[in-house]
Each structure stands twice: as C-alpha cells, then as structure tokens.
Chains A and B, each alone.
Chain A
Amino acid sequence: MNSINPTITGEASQPEGAAIPVQEEKPAETIIEEGKTVGKPFSGDPKFKLRDVDVFYGDTRAIKKISLDISRNEVIAFIGPSGCGKSTFLRCLNRMNDSIDICRVKGSLQLDDHDIYDPKRDVVELRARVGMVFQKPNPFPKSIYDNVAYGPRIHGLANRKSDLDEIVENSLRKAGLWEEAKDRLDATATGMSGGQQQRLCIARAIAVSPEVILMDEPCSALDPIATAKVEELIAEMSESYTIVIVTHSMQQAARVSHRTAYFHLGHLVEVNETNKVFTSPEHELTESYITGRFG
C-alpha cells in the first residue's frame, strides 16, 4: 500500500488538519485485514515466536490473530491508540494475564522454542526469565535493599549475605540508582521520588537476571527529567536484554526502540524498523496515527 492515502492525492498542498475529509468516514475495520501485518513482523531465530495469537476477555476478542517475532537483544516498541490491545499482548509474554479469571489466550507463543502457555510450564521460571516493569512505579513498602533483594531471595540466587549485597549493588548500578541510594539502602522505598521508584523497579527486575524485560508504559507517570533517565537506561540495557516496551509517546518509541509495532483495535497493523515507521509508514492507519490524526 502506498504511503500516501489515495483519497487525498493531489490535495497534498493543502495545509494539515484542513484536509481530513473522506478518509475518516471509512471505518478502520474495513482497512485492516485480520491476521495480516505489513512491514517486517518476522525474523530468523527469534527470542519470542508468536503465531496467530488471540486473547479473549470473556466474549470480547481483545487481540485478533497477531503473529510476531521478537529478536534477541532488540528493543521493540508497541504503539497504538488506547484500548488497542498492546498492553494485553505484552502481558501474554510472561503470563501476567493468568491472574485475570476471564482472560483466555489462544495461538502459539514460544520463548526460545518452548511454549509459554504449556499447562506444564512453570510460571515462576518463566517470569524469572521475563521480567516486567509497570506503568506506575510499584515498589513494595519495604526498604530499598529489600525491594531489590526480593527476587533473588525468592529464587535462592544468593547463598551468603555478601552475595546478596553484591547482587543488590550490581542491580542498582545497572539501574543508575546506586549513587543516589547507596547511603540509604535501609530507607523505605516509598519515600523516593517517582523517577527513582521506577528505576528501583527496573533494578528489582534486573536483580533476578532476566533475559527479557517487558515495560508497560514505564514513563507515563514520570516527569520529563526522570523520563530521560529511564530512556537512557533502556538504551544501556538493550546490550544485554531483550526489551519490549509499550508506550503512548511516539517520540519515546522513536528514541529508544529498534523496531516499532503499531496496534489498532486488537490488530497488529504494521511492524518495521523504527525510523521507517516514523518516516515512511506503509499502512494508512499507521500514518494517520503518527501524524496525529487520531489516538
């Protein structure tokens, strides 16, 4: 499909916003073909291999036949208007949807060629490999140290106190929080600023040495300075982790990600290299979204 919407060809000289016409009247459903994603959704030897994924909340179909590969050590951003299913899809990757009674997942989801939704699969082990950072910083009301040490303690990663100290220090360093926190490891985490809390949550996720980190709008509750710090951190972490980030900020997606996936009404519309998506989107819905016509 051409990057220029056929209905407005020839009117390109018109100022933006004035030329909304015909296109808006065409319902999005008719433009999207189910299960078909433009761009490059697949790659060789992926970390996650996701095929024909459907997610239902009761009778509502929230995710419609999505297929996608996520490569090793890449940062992929999920963007799209609210309610498009990007968070739901993200939460399938470490089975965080399990705690919602009415949620059902269909299709094939594989992490390193092993089925994520295999009934025999150990969820604990899966989540230790696939960490998650949430929209709102959610440190436990414990000390900074205990927050970071929580995961290693559960998984028995340290035999001695000194090992645990080392894990905590390394995690905090990787999260860029060590200098700010080293003198008050025993202080309660809820007393930190929002940005610090979010970096603490990242440190907490790193502490169990995951392979993948899922981030569900990690900066939406933060101010611009804290956001910049977290984004910097994501760039550093991409060397050692596979990162999937859901974001509402297209600038953020453009800054941090290698690939960008555009979701719309439960469909995966387009996946491509980030600069390609933002400079020359292939699908008309993607173009409308990134140029700010809706969303």
Chain B
Amino acid sequence: MQPANLLLLTLVLAVVAYGLGYARSRSLAMPLGGIRHLKSLPFYYGARAALWSGIPALIVLALWAAFQGKVIQLIVIGGLPEGMIPASEGEASLLLSKISNVASGALSPAFAEAPIAEAAERLKALRSQSQFLMSALVIAVAVLAGFLGWLRIRPRLNARAQVESILKWLFFSCAALAILTTVGIIFSVALETFRFFEKVPFSEFFFGSQWSPQTALRADQVAAEGAFGMIPLFTGTLLISAIAMVVAVPVGLLSAIYLSEYANKTVRGVVKPLLEMLAGIPTVVYGFFAALTVAPFISDLAASLGIEASSQSALAAGAVMGIMIIPFVSSLSDDVINAVPQAMRDGSLALGATQSETMKKVIFPAALPGIMGGILLAVSRAIGETMIVVMAAGLAANLTANPLETVTTVTVQIVTLLTGDQEFDSAKTLAAFALGAMLFLATLLLNVIALKIVRKYREQYD
C-alpha cells in the first residue's frame, strides 16, 4: 500500500477507535447510572482510544517511510558482485540512479550490465516487500494499540487528563517543527558559507569594493578573475531601502495619525482596508510598474532638468518599494496609536490642548517605541525585497550614493548567482550562501532590535 493511502487508513482506524472507545465508555457508565459516574466525558474516552491507535501507527509509518530508501540502497549495493562495489559516494549515487532507472523501466535492461539488471530486479523486489511489511506493521500497530486503549477504559480512568497532556505535546511538537526548520536552514546556510570562505578570504568579502562573481568554469576558459566584495551590494541595498523608507515612513505615519485620530468611523472603515490592500499587490506587479512607468518618468524628468540619469535607477525602485511598504508602517502605527489609552487624550484635551498638540506632545511620544518597531519591520521588508529591484534598479554593482544611477542589492545578486545551470561548489554559487547569511544576520539584528523596542513599549502600559 502507498504511504499516502496507508495514512488515510490509519486515520480511518483512529476514527473507528474513537467510536468504539466512546461506545464502551457509555456502556460501562449505563449500569452505574449514567455518564456522570465516569471520570471524564465519553468524548475523552473516544479521543483517548483514537490517539492510542493513531499516534504509534503514525510514528511507525513516518520512521519506515523515512528510512526505507536508505536501507534498501544499502542492501542493493551490498549485494553487488565484488568488482562493482563503488569506491566513492559519487560513484555510488551514479550506480544507484542507473539501477533505479533500470528498475523503473526508463532504461532497458538490455543496455545494462548483467549485475546491474540483477540489482534492479532485487531493488524492485525489496521495494514491494518493504511496502507490504510497512502496511502490515502499521495496521497491526494501529489495531493492537487501539484495542489495548479500548480495553483499558474504566469508569475511574481519567481520560480527560491524558488527552489534555497528549494534546499539549502535539502542540509543542508543531511549535518545535517550526523552530527546527529555522535551525535547519541556518545550519545549511552556515555550512555553505564556511565553504565559501575556504575559497574567498574574509577580507575580500567584507572589505572589497568590487563585485563581479564571474569565474572560469574550466581551467582553459577565458574569464575574469572574479571579485567578491560585498560592499557595493550592501550600499545598494542600503540606498534603495533608505529611499523606500523616506517615502514610506512619513506617508505611512501621517496616514496612520489621520486614521486613528482624525478620521471618523466610516472613513476609517473604507480607507484602512484600501491602504492595506497595497501590501497585497504582488511585488512583481510593483516591479513592472517601477520599470515601465516610474523609471522612464524619472529619467525623462532628470533629462529635462539637465541631469544625467540611467533608465534604471535606485530612485525608481526605492520609491515604488516605499509605496509597497506604506501599509506596514501605517497599519502597525495605527494599532500602536490606538493602543495609547483614551485617558491620555482626555487628559491632554481637558487641559485645553488641540488635537494636533495632543498628538505631537502626548500620543506620539507614548506610541514612539511601537512605531519604531513597525518601521524596523518595514525596513527588514525593504532589505529583503527583490523583484522590484531586479526590474527597476538593474544588476550592475555600482558603488555609488547617487540615486539616479543603477545599483543592485544583495537579494538580487543571490537570485542571479543561483539561477541557471550552476556548479554547486564554485565560489560563485557559494557566494550566494555567504550573502544570504549576511542578509539573515542583518535582518535578524533588526528584528531583535524591533522586539526589544516592542517589549520596552509593553512595560510602559502594563
């Protein structure tokens, strides 16, 4: 049976166990005078039986599915004749893919050597055996454990407490899964970053002002030496993010103030969702808006003023990105401003302050930490944004502070480094991981700062 079908079957068995457990608890309760004589509600006995049946079976299923491939490979390789046992890991994987191609019929056995054809037969047999064994084991575990769980139902059994604690672990494992994923990503990025630094010295990466990652693929190829200075990329990122923030912070903040302090309910009900819709537009749409509308407009405008401007510019990308992140700033600031107690407003207004004086002198300072948190979140969004920059700011790694020139950002370079056919151990590809690690550190730092500020803010009103 296929693992997916087996999963379904396990769930069906769990449901059956639920029904039987429910029924048994009721039938045990009736002679005693009703379910009030049970320690827990029948639902909990049913749920307990279902969990008893389902969880061990699912664990067995998961473990089997995870390890069967590797075990079968080892058996197949081990069964090869003396002379064919592969010397290196690379050879082994080549050999295995050949064997599995033959087994699946993609490669005719006539074209393969006899031992390989034999191994392919063995692979097929092992696979079907494994699947049969897995099905049998999972079903047996589900039925047996479910039966045990059902058998142990007693009126005195505190099924409710057991179900609660199992649920607690279930929730915990979901939370742990998210954390483990993050840790896994960090590990893989860190590992590749170390490999990158084996090829390129630290000093070049951190202090080099040249970025041209084209290296020769083969020894005889004519190509640039390759330069891996991250400074132009980070200055590009900073330039574009700064322009985006210059657009987003004032507009977002002032519209948040308008929405929370001045707008009446109807206006707020219409404007707020509309503003938040800006965040829902796909970035690629912003990208072509920036590339096809804003960038030419800026370069024409600059030309008419007699300033030289490139057709792709940091200004175009930054301005459009700023529009995109307005809702991050406005929505979060709006929440924070609303969270300032009405008593503060009343206190200020009752002293004869106007609305704008109240805003400026009482509400804004009180909400400032929260607003800062929102702005930092918007900054991390701006730093991570890629599509708009690819389309509107270009790919040339210029070390410049002129917003009318074309620049590129860290994320854009990661994309260009990894798209297309790549060797996975060249400095060029590994550079992407190093850049990713730097970017991750930068945004992590920003998030930590944002969290700290938010925590500080919380202490003020609790």
Contact = CB atoms under 8 A, between A and B. Distances in A.
Given A101-B265, A134-B343, A150-B361, A190 B460 contact: yes
Nearest to A188: B460
A121 B356 CA distance: 18
A132 B345 contact: no
Contact of A127 (B344, B352, B361, B366): B352
Contacts of A201: 347
A136 B264 CA distance: 26
A287 B352 CA distance: 39
Contacts of A150: 348, 351, 353, 361
Interface string B415-448: 0000000000000000000000000000000000
B91 interface: no
Interface in A136-156: 136, 138-142, 150-151, 154-155
B343 A127 contact: no
Contacts of B460: 141, 190
Given A99-B345, A150-B361, A190-B460, A141 B366 contact: yes
A220 B345 CA distance: 20
Contacts of B348: 140, 150
A155 to B, nearest CB: 6
B354 A138 contact: no
A128 B352 contact: yes
B350 A142 contact: no
Given A101-B264, A154-B357, A96 B347 contact: no
Contacts of B351: 127-128, 131, 150-151, 154, 204-205, 208
Contacts of A94: 350
A21 B344 CA distance: 47
A138 B341 contact: yes
> Which of B345, B353, B366 lies at the interface centre, i.e. has the most chain A CB atoms within 10 A of its CB?
B353
B23 interface: no
A155 B341 CA distance: 24
B371 to A, nearest CB: 15
B362 A140 contact: yes
A94 B351 CA distance: 10
A154 B366 contact: no
Tell me what chain B mostly uses at the interface: helix, strand, loop, or mixed. Answer: helix
B244 to A, nearest CB: 31
Interface residues of B, number: 21
B350 A127 contact: yes
Contacts, number: 66
B43 to A, nearest CB: 42
Contact of B344 (A124, A140, A208): A140
A155 B460 CA distance: 28
Nearest to B353: A154
Given A101-B264, A124-B354, A141-B460, A96 B361 contact: no
B365 interface: yes
Nearest to A146: B361
Nearest to B355: A99
Interface in B331-363: 341, 343-354, 357, 361-362
A101 B354 CA distance: 17
User: How many A residues are at the interface, by size bracket?
Assistant: 20 to 34
Contacts of B353: 124, 150-151, 154
B364 to A, nearest CB: 12
Given A101-B264, A141-B460, A190-B460, A151 B343 contact: no
A186 interface: no
A109 to B, nearest CB: 17
B222 to A, nearest CB: 67
Contacts of A101: 264-265
A65 to B, nearest CB: 26
Contacts of A141: 365-366, 460
Contacts of B343: 134, 136, 138
B366 A134 contact: no
Contacts of A139: 347
B74 to A, nearest CB: 67
A125 interface: yes
A126 B354 CA distance: 12
Given A101-B265, A138-B344, A141-B460, A125 B352 contact: yes
A42 B362 CA distance: 40
B265 A155 contact: no
Interface in B6-32: none
Interface in B248-271: 264-265
Contacts of A126: 352
Nearest to B347: A138
A124 B365 contact: no
Given A101-B264, A142-B365, A127 B347 contact: no
Contact of A132 (B350, B361, B362): B350
A157 B156 CA distance: 77
A96 B357 contact: no
A124 B349 CA distance: 8
> Which of A127, A131, A134 lies at the interface centre, i.e. has the most chain B CB atoms within 10 A of its CB?
A127
A131 B265 CA distance: 28
B341 A154 contact: no
B394 to A, nearest CB: 47
A116 to B, nearest CB: 14
A138 B346 contact: yes
B279 to A, nearest CB: 28
Given A126-B352, A140-B348, A154-B351, 15 more contacts: A96-B349, A99-B349, A124-B352, A128-B351, A128-B352, A134-B347, A134-B350, A140-B362, A141-B365, A141-B366, A142-B365, A151-B353, A155-B352, A201-B347, A208-B352
Interface of A: 94, 96, 99, 101, 123-128, 131-132, 134, 136, 138-142, 150-151, 154-155, 190, 201, 204-205, 208
Smallest CB-CB A-B distances: 7 pairs: A138-B343, A132-B350, A128-B352, A127-B352, A151-B351, A138-B347, A124-B352
13 contacts: A99-B349, A127-B351, A132-B346, A132-B350, A136-B343, A138-B341, A140-B362, A140-B366, A141-B365, A151-B352, A154-B361, A190-B460, A208-B351
